[in-house]
Structure formats: C-alpha cells, structure tokens
C-alpha cells in the first residue's frame, strides 16, 4: 500500500492548491465580522503534516463531512462562521432554557400585552397630585404694585410656606399677578388690593380686526355661567385712553354671551361669579372671574364719589368712600345716627367734619388751624384750637375720626390709647405711609394696636384698605364689639 507523502505547510492550500493568505488584514471586498479574523479559515491536514509553527499560529477549523440524510446546503450552513454566543448572566444556571433573543417591544407584541408604565418616584407622584398653580390678578393704586404682591404672598405663606415662582411685576401699571399653589386669598384682609380676580386666560396678541372671536373662545372654555360682565382697564393715564374702546366693545361681547346662555340675570344669579376682561392695551386681555363674596362690589374696585359743593376740601371724599367700603347699609343706619357725637382730630379745614355734620352728628373739631366754609360757623361743630395728640374728651364719644399727618406708629399709639381708655366706640383714621418699607411700617402700626387691645381683653373689629381717594396712606376702620 502506498503511503501518502507528508506535505509541508508552505502557504499553499492542501485542498485547492491555491496560495493561502497569511496576512491578518481584512478583505477589501467584504468587511470582517466582529470576532472573526480577516483570513479565510484553512482546511485541516492530517496529524503530522505541515509545520508546527504554522499550526500554532493559524489554527484551522476541522472539516465537517456531510452526514447521511443532510443536504449540502445544511452542511454549508454548519460550516458557516457564526457570531459568538452572548455571555450567560450570572444568575442563569447551567442547562437552563436559553433566553429569548429580541427587543423588548418584539417580545411584548408577541404576547399581545401593553408595556408596563415606568415607576414614578413617590415624591414626584405627591408633587404632581397635590400641587396645582393658580394665578391671581389684583388691581391696586399705581406705584403700589410691589406692596400689593408682597402682601398677597405673605398672606399665602401664612397658610402654606411653599410658593411657585412669582411673575415679574410691572412698575406703575396699576395691577399685579401672583402665582399660588393651593392657598386662598381673603379680599377683606388685603389692604393694597382694590380687586381680587382668579386669572384663567391671558391673550397677548389680539387681532386688530377681530378681537371678539379669541376672547369669546377663551370665555366659552370656562365652566358655568356668570352674573355680570365687567370690562376694565388699569387706573393709569394709558388705561384711561381705553375707556372709549371698552364702551364700544362691551355690548358686542355681552350680546354674544347672552345668545349662548353664559350671561344670565335670573333669580339667584347674583351668587354666580363675575366675569372680568382686563385690557392692559387694545391687543392684550386678561380673562378672569371674581367671587361676589370675596371681592370688591365695584368695577375696577373703585367706589367713586362726587365732590359735594358745600364741603371745604377734597379730603371729604376719603371719609365718604371709607363709610361706603367699611359699612354696609344696615351698619350705616345703626352706627351713623343723628344725635351721636364725634371727635375730629386734625379737623381743619373741615372736610371730614362735613361728612359727620351732614348726617346730624355733633362734632368736636380739634385743630390749631381754622375751619373753613360752612364748617366755620355750623351749630353742630365745636372748634377747639388744640394739639390733637394731647386732647382727651370728658366722656365717651361714638366716633373718633382722624386724618393727621404724622408717622404711622405715632398715630397708631394714639388710637390705641383712645380705645384702651374707653374714650370712643368706633374710629376711622388714616395712616400716612413712608416712601420705603411701607408694608413693614403698616404691619408694625396695626400690630401695635392689636397687641394693646388684646392685652386689655377688648373685643374689636378692624379693617384696613388703601382706598381710591387715598394717596400715600391707608384708611382703617376700628370698632368695639361685644365681649366674647
């Protein structure tokens, strides 16, 4: 028997006779797959044939013979190089069933189930579920926007410290917007706010030829009906130029809302919220609602007064507005009766005295200055040229009214003395505000009065507002009530 001679591994394929590649660079015609070398796998030779050096450097895959019953295609597939199998997870035991290969979406689709929602951290869930922002629109005297917003934010913080980021305030605009979470604002406890409105929509660019359509669409998106429609503008010189525009626009919007049944005058409608459209200019509108039990009952929050011809000064309008704002009709009838007595500190020239005299109340006017006009020789007026801070009545009077120009802390101390000494039952007085830190000065003055009355065990009702006819001042109403 002939023996097959051994052949050396000389770089020639034992099967095809063609030169075998010995470099390791990938073929240019076909990129190499990850995990495979660029060389074509060499065919095996019998043991002992070829160089040990080449056998060690270039290991060759054993040739696979076609088993009986298998096609050449199946055999070639078996010889085709495969990608390396993915490494097993540490938790997977030997002999366990292989994991399915494929994307998460593919497996879910094959099972015909929905993908589970990603878990939300508990803190995020709590924040999403419990915190909802609400914007509030407040009208105020121009120049007091910062004080108005500061006071509202302080009231909200007393309920819950966490607040949202506050909008920017425009100086001398006559309004402010504050953003709260779940806090509520009490209009009666706000001093600088003339009106309190829950803001729902802001439209920045109204088309010049059709302002009605976008405003109406925003209103119809709100729930419920409304008892009144108030079109308002800032209390500024620029705002006054819009008066003619809103007078023309009001009936158009009113008719559209009535046709759609959103503006009603049925019995009981006075309990429904009012609808406010606040025009900062002709192209911008803020849309909101007000609670009739937690807001001012006048358009723009202004209780306007007519200047009486007989009054000696315009300061009479401040007391007239204060009576309308602080006392309802029944209280005016009960507390301002003819024959009552009053003391007016800082009375000259007699504007506040005139409001009392016209109601039949006898007034002791205390001022070193002269009374003027009808108040100079009125039989209901007794004029005493004395220092208002040193005067003390001989007996209790029904009313103390005071409009003296002095620091708020000094006036507050005087008022506290009158009430703790039992010299008066009711009072309306003004606190003149400093140019800076007005909220702090006001809180200190009012807090001082409250502390003295609380210490003496006196029951009282106190309300303060910066009225329309006030300037750099705040008007306060203080009244004794029955002991608790």
The CATH number of whichever domain residue 372 belongs to comes to 3.40.50.150
Q: Evaluate whether residue 120 is within a structural domain.
A: no
**Does residue 389 sit in the same domain as residue 445?**
yes
Give the three-class secondary structure for 260: coil
Tell me, yes or no, whether 235 and 140 share the same domain.
yes
- Domain of 359 in residue numbering reads as 303-480
* Same structural domain, 329 and 476: yes
CATH number of domain containing 154: 3.30.2130.30
CA distance 321 to 327: 10
Same domain, 258 and 162: yes
The verdict on 198 and 280 lying in the same domain is: yes
Catalytic residues: 432
Q: Is 290 helix (H, G, I), strand (E, B) or coil?
A: strand
User: What 3-state DSSP class applies to 324?
Assistant: helix
- Beta strands 362-366; 381-384: pairing state: parallel
Is pTM beyond 0.75 here?
A: no
Q: Are residues 283 and 398 in the same domain?
A: no
Spatial contact of 277 and 229, defined as CB atoms under 8 Å apart = yes
pLDDT in tens, the chain (484 residues): 444 444 444 444 444 444 454 444 444 444 444 443 444 444 444 444 444 444 444 444 444 444 444 444 444 444 454 444 444 444 444 444 444 444 444 443 343 444 444 444 443 333 333 456 899 999 999 999 999 999 999 999 999 887 788 999 999 999 999 999 888 999 999 999 999 999 999 999 999 999 999 999 999 999 999 999 999 999 999 999 999 999 999 999 999 999 999 999 887 788 999 999 999 999 999 999 999 999 999 999 999 999 999 999 999 999 999 999 999 999 999 999 999 999 999 999 999 999 999 999 999 999 999 999 999 999 999 999 999 999 999 999 999 999 999 999 999 999 999 999 999 999 999 999 999 999 999 999 999 999 999 999 999 999 999 999 999 999 999 999 986 5
CA proximity to 476, closest of 415, 396, 389, 393: 415
Spatial strand order in the sheet of 228-232 = 175-180, 134-139, 195-203, 284-290, 274-281, 228-232
Q: Is residue 143 part of a domain?
A: yes
Strands (E), 83-194: 134-139, 175-180
68, HSE (Cβ side, Cα atoms, 13 Å): 0
| Sign (positive or negative) of CA dihedral 198, 200, 203, 204 | positive
């Amino acid at each position: 028997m002939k023996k097959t001679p051994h052949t050396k591994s000389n770089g020639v394929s034992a099967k095809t006779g063609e030169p075998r590649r010995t470099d390791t660079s990938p073929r240019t015609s076909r990129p190499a797959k990850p995990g495979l070398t660029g060389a074509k796998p060499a065919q095996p030779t019998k043991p002992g044939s070829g160089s040990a050096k080449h056998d060690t450097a270039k290991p060759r895959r054993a040739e696979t013979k076609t088993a009986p019953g298998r096609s050449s295609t199946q055999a070639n597939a078996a010889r085709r190089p495969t990608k390396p199998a993915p490494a097993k997870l540490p938790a997977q035991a030997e002999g366990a069933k292989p994991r399915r290969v494929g994307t998460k979406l593919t497996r879910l689709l094959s099972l015909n189930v929905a993908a589970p929602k990603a878990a939300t951290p508990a803190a995020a869930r709590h924040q999403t579920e419990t915190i909802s922002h609400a914007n509030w629109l407040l009208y105020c005297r121009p120049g007091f926007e910062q004080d108005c917003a500061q006071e509202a934010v302080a009231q909200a913080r007393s309920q819950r410290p966490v607040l949202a980021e506050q909008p920017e305030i425009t100086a001398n605009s006559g309004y402010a917007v504050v953003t709260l979470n779940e806090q509520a604002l009490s209009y009666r406890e706000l001093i600088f706010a003339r009106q309190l409105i829950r803001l729902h929509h802001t439209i920045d660019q109204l088309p010049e030829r059709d302002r009605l359509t976008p405003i109406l669409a925003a209103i119809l998106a709100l729930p419920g009906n409304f008892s009144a429609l108030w079109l308002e503008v800032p209390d500024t010189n620029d705002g006054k130029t819009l008066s003619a525009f809103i007078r023309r626009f009001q009936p158009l919007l009113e008719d559209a809302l009535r046709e759609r049944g959103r503006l009603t005058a049925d019995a009981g409608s006075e309990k429904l919220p009012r609808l406010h459209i606040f025009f900062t200019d002709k192209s911008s509108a803020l849309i909101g609602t007000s609670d009739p039990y937690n807001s001012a009952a006048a358009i723009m929050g202004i209780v306007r007064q007519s200047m009486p011809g007989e009054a000696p000064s315009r300061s009479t309008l401040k007391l007239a507005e204060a009576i309308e704002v602080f006392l309802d009709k029944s209280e005016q009838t009960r507390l301002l009766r003819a024959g009552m007595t009053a003391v007016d500190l800082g009375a000259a020239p007699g504007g506040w005295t005139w409001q009392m005299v016209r109601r039949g109340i006898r007034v002791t006017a205390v001022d070193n200055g002269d009374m003027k006009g009808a108040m100079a020789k009125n039989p209901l007026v007794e004029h005493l040229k004395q220092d208002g801070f040193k005067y003390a009545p001989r007996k209790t009077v029904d009313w103390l009214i005071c409009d003296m120009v002095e620091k708020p802390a000094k006036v507050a101390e005087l008022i506290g003395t009158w009430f703790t000494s039992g010299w008066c039952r009711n009072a309306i007085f003004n606190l003149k505000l400093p140019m800076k830190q007005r909220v702090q000065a006001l809180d200190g003055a009012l807090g001082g009065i409250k502390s003295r009355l609380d210490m003496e065990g006196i029951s009282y009702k106190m309300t303060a507002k910066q009225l329309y006819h006030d300037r750099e001042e705040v008007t306060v109403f203080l009244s004794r009530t029955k002991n608790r």
